């Protein structure tokens, strides 16, 4: 679900510069390290099995880090005064880069970011599904004023731009003047360092936009050297048309395009991974730079309303389709439901039994109650986000593994710091433990590549994601034999095991099963074109 936040500008350019100098952040971009690099004590991580992020074979060796950067990799001779960490033969890799994340929400209250660092994530990319802070410059300033444990990069959200320009009158096509106004807001976000444009075309208000509107805004991002990432217009009924729309955006503008959390989320789509990848490969052969990210679960989380693409929430045909084709009543968990708190944690099937109505009608009734509650909270001036949610099983493991293996798919979480979906705490250990070690879906080197260098490439971050001298010292030390997720839908915030240590910009943020309290995270900006 999209949540929009507005912050007033509190920092002048001079104040921001002074803040950066005092805090030691320096000047940072996605293509370089801090301009000011104070000399610090070196750390040498010895006796490691190095997975450098390239996808190549691992090798034994050491990594030396100093002043937030990787200084040397290989068979290293000791240096006087350096701090030596014995890796004990564990795997050492670049920190994981989560290209579709909601871990940015709540960082002010939880700057240690346990959900992220406990699974090896060192960089989160937010501003997803069309929702971002506006203006982004203010959000970045707030992060720099109170740094978290992790690095943060952001897209500019189309839905947020649309909401600002169209207000409550968003259930229509935008005019040329309104698209121009959105373009100016987008340009400001791009100047502030946004990675590009993110859309959530299955959500309000983006669902009402025309393809032409999105293309025009994507062209603005392309001119600035940005990228496009999208929760596409449909992940079920109109899936193929939505994929074609994404490809056409790349064709028309030349911008790199990425499918957010790629999935085949409808019964009649199951087994169509080959067909989907053939279409994406054909687009790449045409010269369109299309890619995807994926999280390792067969169930998604969103709002109940997203299952009604025509936004007619009383339509019995759409409701019946949702409970038969998109999922089943037994496989629809309602983790959050404030109108009737007793329903939280129950399946749609169980709620249907309690209410004495069939599942399709129950779904209609739950949405009506949620809308009434949302209107009540809004009228009282409260936060109407998070009124309800659904976790629905819609995908097959066979499709997930095939989409994972596509050379142009990287990994993500789509998770949050305190979310109801286990992906927020468990995605990367689940990939390494279940899909790599247990299922043999791919090699460990390939999984690390998809979590690091490939992820960095897909979002335009060039100064991290590989273990090579000169890049940022974001690292994760883990045990390939024991790493595993423990988060479930019943206990979604249970910490994984097997992640031994995590460094962000050279500072240890996770060690021996707990955050260290260090907050060395930085804002990662796309450099100005």
pLDDT tens over the chain, length 529 residues: 333 333 332 223 323 323 333 233 333 345 433 433 445 789 999 999 999 999 999 999 999 999 999 999 999 999 999 999 999 999 999 999 999 999 999 999 999 999 999 999 999 999 999 999 999 999 999 999 999 999 999 999 999 999 999 999 999 999 999 999 999 999 999 999 999 999 999 999 999 999 999 999 999 999 999 999 999 999 999 999 999 999 999 999 999 999 999 999 999 999 999 999 999 999 999 999 999 999 999 999 999 999 999 999 999 999 999 999 999 999 999 999 999 999 999 999 999 999 999 999 999 999 999 999 999 999 999 988 889 999 999 999 999 999 999 999 999 999 999 999 999 999 999 999 999 999 999 999 999 999 999 999 999 999 999 999 999 999 999 999 999 999 999 999 999 999 999 999 999 999 999 999 999 999 999 987 5
The candidate with the shortest Cα–Cα distance to 48, out of 70, 67, 80, is 70
Cis peptide bond upstream of 322, omega within 30: no
Instruction: Measure Cα distances from 52 to 58, 70, 222, 435, 443 in Å.
Output: 7, 12, 30, 20, 14
Q: Which residue has the tokens 């992020």?
A: 53
Q: Which residue has the tokens 């404030």?
A: 338
Distance CA 434, CA 91 (A): 17
Yes or no: say if 205 and 311 are a contact pair by the CB < 8 Å rule: no
Distance CA 70, CA 469 (A): 5
The candidate with the shortest Cα–Cα distance to 444, out of 97, 49, 132, 167, is 49
Distance CA 180, CA 189 (A): 14
Q: Which pTM does this prediction carry? A: 0.91
3-state DSSP assignment of residue 63:
strand
Supply 232's token pair: 């596409």
Which backbone phi and psi does 352 adopt, to 5 degrees? -60, -40
Helix (H) or strand (E) holding 312: none
Cα-Cα-Cα-Cα dihedral of 146, 147, 149, 155, to 10°? 120
Question: What is the end-to-end Cα distance of the chain in Å, rounded?
Answer: 32
Supply 427's token pair: 């995605």
Yes or no: say if 217 and 182 are a contact pair by the CB < 8 Å rule: yes
Q: DSSP string covering 132-146, please?
A: -EESHHHHHHHHHHS
Q: Which residue has the tokens 């949405």?
A: 367
Which residues are paired to 43 by β-bridges? 65, 83
Distance of CA 11 to the CA centre of its chain: 28
Supply 323's token pair: 């409970």
Q: DSSP string covering 309-329, please?
A: TT--TT-HHHHHHIIIII--G
Which backbone phi and psi does 282 adopt, to 5 degrees? -65, -40
Buried b (16+ CB within 10 A) or exposed e, 258-294: bbbbbbbbbeebeebbeebbeebeebeeeebbbbbbb
The candidate with the shortest Cα–Cα distance to 132, out of 209, 174, 190, 180, is 190
In 10 A of CB 30, how many CB atoms?
18
């Amino acid at each position: 679900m999209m949540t929009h936040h507005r912050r007033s500008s509190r920092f002048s350019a001079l104040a921001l510069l002074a803040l950066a100098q005092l805090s030691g952040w320096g000047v940072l971009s996605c293509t370089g390290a801090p301009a000011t690099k104070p000399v610090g004590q070196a750390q040498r991580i010895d006796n490691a099995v190095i997975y450098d992020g390239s996808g190549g074979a691992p090798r034994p060796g050491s990594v030396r880090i100093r002043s937030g950067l990787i200084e040397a990799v290989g068979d290293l001779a000791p240096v006087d005064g350096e701090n030596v960490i014995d890796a004990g033969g564990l795997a050492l890799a670049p920190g994981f880069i989560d290209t579709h994340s909601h871990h940015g929400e709540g960082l002010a209250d939880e700057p240690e970011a346990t959900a992220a660092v406990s699974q090896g994530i060192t960089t989160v990319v937010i501003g997803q599904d069309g929702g971002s802070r506006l203006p982004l410059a203010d959000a970045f300033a707030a992060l720099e004023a109170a740094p978290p444990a992790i690095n943060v990069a952001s897209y500019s959200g189309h839905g947020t731009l649309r909401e600002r320009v169209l207000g409550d009158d968003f259930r229509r096509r935008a005019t040329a003047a309104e698209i121009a106004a959105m373009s100016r807001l987008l340009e400001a976000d791009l100047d502030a360092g946004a990675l590009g444009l993110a859309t959530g075309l299955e959500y309000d208000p983006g669902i009402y936009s025309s393809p032409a509107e999105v293309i025009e805004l994507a062209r603005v991002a392309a001119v600035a050297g940005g990228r496009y990432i999208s929760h596409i217009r449909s992940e079920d009924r109109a899936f193929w048309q939505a994929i074609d729309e994404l490809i056409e955006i790349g064709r028309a503008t030349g911008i790199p395009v990425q499918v957010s959390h790629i999935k085949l989320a409808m019964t009649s789509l199951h087994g169509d991974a080959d067909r989907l990848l053939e279409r994406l490969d054909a687009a790449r052969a045409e010269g369109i730079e299309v890619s995807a990210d994926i999280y390792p679960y067969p169930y998604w989380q969103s709002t109940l309303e997203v299952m009604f693409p025509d936004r007619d929430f009383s339509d019995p045909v759409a409701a019946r389709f949702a409970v038969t084709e998109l999922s089943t009543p037994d496989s629809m968990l309602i983790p959050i439901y404030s109108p009737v708190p007793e329903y939280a944690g129950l399946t749609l099937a169980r709620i249907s039994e309690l209410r004495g109505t069939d599942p399709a009608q129950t779904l209609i009734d739950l949405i009506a109650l949620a809308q009434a509650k949302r209107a009540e909270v809004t009228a009282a001036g409260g936060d109407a986000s998070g009124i309800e949610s659904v976790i629905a099983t819609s995908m097959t493991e066979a499709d997930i593994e095939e989409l994972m293996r596509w050379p142009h798919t990287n990994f993500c979480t789509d998770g949050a710091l305190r979310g109801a979906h286990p992906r927020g705490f468990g995605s990367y250990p689940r990939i390494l433990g279940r899909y790599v070690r247990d299922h043999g879906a791919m090699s460990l080197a390939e999984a690390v590549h998809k979590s690091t260098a490939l992820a960095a490439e897909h979002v335009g971050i060039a100064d991290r994601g590989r273990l090579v001298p000169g890049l940022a010292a974001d690292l994760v030390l883990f045990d390939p034999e024991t790493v595993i997720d423990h988060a479930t839908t019943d206990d979604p915030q249970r910490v994984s095991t097997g992640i031994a240590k995590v460094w962000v910009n050279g500072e240890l943020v996770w060690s021996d099963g707990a955050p260290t309290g260090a907050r060395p995270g930085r804002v990662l900006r796309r450099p100005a074109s």
